[in-house]
Amino acid sequence: EPEVTQTPSHQVTQMGQEVILRCVPISNHLYFYWYRQILGQKVEFLVSFYNNEISEKSEIFDDQFSVERPDGSNFTLKIRSTKLEDSAMYFCASSIQLVLSGNTIYFGEGSWLTVV
Amino acid sequence: KQEVTQIPAALSVPEGENLVLNCSFTDSAIYNLQWFRQDPGKGLTSLLLIQSSQREQTSGRLNASLDKSSGRSTLYIAASQPGDSATYLCAVIGGATNKLIFGTGTLLAVQP
């Protein structure tokens, strides 16, 4: 079965450092997402991406965050200057069409980011 | 602002028991509601999706119902097995947005 793959599975970084989390969405999917889950808290939406641009973002997704689809397969999340509160599990996801239209969203296994 | 709540936060049952997980949401203007399973340290797996016009969906031993007007959904698991042990999350989409709003989850432990 096709799956969303994420790397790295775990990263430890110093506060203030830049981090790039990588994702390979399912190949024929058109919509890509990043969600995050701080330990013990709800899964939260960060951003959605379609047709090479951000289609929606949350208040969390400030100027410190950016997303990119550098080639035909990868989808990345960059955090420019990490803070302690960025420590979380970051999930990449993709869907073939809009989830609000009833299409299944597929999540990767997550990248656990620890900022020290 | 949409809020999603799940009760109970944790549940432990003996193998073979039927069980019900609850999800409530504050804004009934949703497009659909989804139930996910999350295993420890793993991603989320979509279990069932109920469109706003539907009342229930079934997949194997799982049955999800939706009462949009009262802002509630239930996930019924029949004949529970130890392999069902996981965290179950519900999430809604509404308000002309494509983002899922998640509940806090129910941690289920099925004892052999």
Q: What is the pLDDT of residues A44-81, one digit of tens each?
A: 999 999 999 999 999 999 999 999 998 878 999 999 99
Give the Cα separation of B33 and A86 in Å (integer): 28
Contacts of B100 in chain A (CB under 8 A): 35, 43, 45, 99, 105
Which of these, B7, B8, B22, B14, lies nearest to B81 by C-alpha position? Answer: B14
What is the pLDDT of chain A when averaged over all its residues? Answer: 94
pLDDT at residue A1 above 80? no
Task: Name the residue of chain B whose CA is nearest to A108's CA.
Answer: B43
pLDDT at residue B95 above 80? no
Contacts of A91 in chain B (CB under 8 A): 43-44
Angle at B20 between CA B27 and CA A107, to 5 degrees: 65
How far off is chain A from B100, nearest CA to CA, in Å?
A: 7
The residue behind tokens 């999340």 is A77
Handedness of CA A78, B47, B88, B6 (dihedral sign): positive
Radius of gyration over every alpha carbon of chain B, rounded to an integer in angstroms: 13
What percent of chain A stands above pLDDT 70? 100
Note whether A44 and A30 are within 8 A (CB).
no
Give the Cα separation of A105 and B93 in Å (integer): 12
Residue range A88-99: mean pLDDT, rounded: 94
Which of these, A76, A45, A49, lies nearest to A59 by C-alpha position? Answer: A45
Collapse the DSSP code of B83 into the 3-class scheme (helix H, G, I; strand E, B; otherwise coil) and give the result: helix
Handedness of CA A6, A15, A57, B71 (dihedral sign): positive
User: How many other C-beta atoms can be found within 10 angstroms of the C-beta atom of residue A112?
Assistant: 18
Instruction: Write down the pLDDT at residue B40.
Output: 87
Instruction: Write down the pLDDT at residue A4.
Output: 95
Among the partner residues A56, A106, A108, nearest to B99 by beta-carbon distance: A56
Put simply, the chain A residues between 61 and 90 with a CB less than 8 A from any chain B CB are: none
Give the Cα separation of B12 and B108 in Å (integer): 6
Instruction: Write down the pLDDT at residue A2.
Output: 78
CB contact under 8 A, A56 and B98: yes
pLDDT at residue B76 above 80? yes
What is the pLDDT of chain B when averaged over all its residues? Answer: 94
Among the partner residues A44, A48, A107, nearest to B98 by beta-carbon distance: A48
Contacts of B104 in chain A (CB under 8 A): 41-42
CB contact under 8 A, B43 and A55: no
